[in-house]
Structure 1
Amino acid sequence: MKELETAIARYHAMKLKDILPPIDSLPVLCTDSSVINVLEILRTRHHVWVINCKEDGKLIGVIRYLDVINFIMPPEKHSTFIGTTRTVLMSIQGGAEIASEVMEKSAIKINHNKSVLDALEKMKNYNLQLLAVVDDENRLIGEISLRILINKFLDLCF
């Protein structure tokens, strides 16, 4: 049992930057990428990170698999009331053509210098299984998922 406690303590202290998967494995598009490009990635992935490619690669938002419902559904099928017109505008038939028009702007992120424990706490607080990992300039450098964290923990234990 002592070995497991030691492994957990080491695991919690690990820096995210030391366990990130390669950046080229991320599903990433630029803000001006077409909605069709978004759908092509979402065929096989559960999310797409949206970055500002023209300036500095900063993380701008995220499009999740379930968000597709909003932009392929006709505008008249959206329930609208005060404050909800954004989902209608996010529809392809409502005029959305590029990633920045269908993305969620409030992607939950964490700095690469934070620890595994910090990531777990943030995931728990926001009820998420995935966080964008950014550098000190808010540039997307990776992602951390619950699956990655589970695998890393098992690697330490066995």
Structure 2
Amino acid sequence: MDRESALEKFHAIRLMDIAPDLKTIPMVESNTDILDVLKILRTRHHVWVVENRKTMRLVGIIRYLDVIDILLPPEAHRFKLGMTSRIMKSLLGGATTAGDVAEKQPLAIEDTETVLDALMKMRKYKTQVLAVVEGDKLVGEVSLRILIDELLRLMRVGGAQWIQ
């Protein structure tokens, strides 16, 4: 298989076919204590926040870099119009749960979309991870790491090699 054929096959893969098992992705319920979220973020770059594990309705995402806002005191945030939500994400500003600090409306993509759709959305929004959803229900995630792994797996399993 040549490079072009391999990439065409890769781009056409549906996300539901490569999204990792839901049990393996970092996820907490909205009412989870912030300190428990911080424990997860010691070893992960993000954690998804769902309403609860029964509905799996996606509430938001907390990224590793969001920890800065959580740890800073409220007065350390420069006040600008529309910035009050960032102040409220501080532990000293009153935030206590994952739902309090989660970035609402995280970037998501339907599970029926393809790798190419995911790559295009990642580039457009300059992000490395997307929630994979079925409606408003979290069913997985797709990241650049997952896509790289899938491409390499495809190349090995299919016997394809890059042709220079």
**TM value normalised by structure 1:** 0.94
Between the two proteins, the alignment pairs up a number of residues equal to 156
* Structure 1 residue ranges, 4+ long, deviating more than 6 angstroms after superposition: none
**Structure 1 residue 117 and structure 2 residue 116: aligned?**
yes
Unmatched tracts of structure 1, length 5 or more: none
**Structure 1 residue 76 and structure 2 residue 75: aligned?**
yes
**Structure 1 residue 128 and structure 2 residue 127: aligned?**
yes
Name the structure 2 match of 1:51.
Answer: 50
Name the structure 1 match of 2:22.
Answer: 23
Secondary structure, counterpart of 1:92 in structure 2:
coil
Percent of aligned pairs sharing the same letter:
44
Name the structure 2 match of 1:143.
Answer: 141
Mapped to 1, the partners of 2:35 and 2:73 lie a distance apart of 16
Residue pair 1:4, 1:157 contacting (<8 A) in 2 also: no
* Distance 1:157-1:55 versus aligned 2 partners, 3 A rule: closer
Report the Cα offset of residue 54 of structure 1.
6.7
Residue pair 1:30, 1:51 contacting (<8 A) in 2 also: yes
Report the Cα offset of residue 77 of structure 1.
1.1
Secondary structure, counterpart of 1:152 in structure 2:
helix
Secondary structure, counterpart of 1:49 in structure 2:
strand
RMSD: 1.2
**Structure 1 residue 37 and structure 2 residue 30: aligned?**
no
- Post-superposition Cα deviations, 1:65-118, rounded to whole Å, max 9, x if no partner, equal 000111111111111122211111111101110111101002000011001100
Residue pair 1:129, 1:145 contacting (<8 A) in 2 also: yes
**Structure 1 residue 12 and structure 2 residue 44: aligned?**
no
Residue pair 1:109, 1:131 contacting (<8 A) in 2 also: yes
Mapped to 2, the partners of 1:5 and 1:76 lie a distance apart of 54
Q: Which amino acid in the other structure matches residue 114 of structure 2?
A: S
Q: Which amino acid in the other structure matches residue 111 of structure 1?
A: E
- Post-superposition Cα deviations, 1:130-155, rounded to whole Å, max 9, x if no partner, equal 000011x3211111001111111122
Q: Which amino acid in the other structure matches residue 121 of structure 1?
A: M
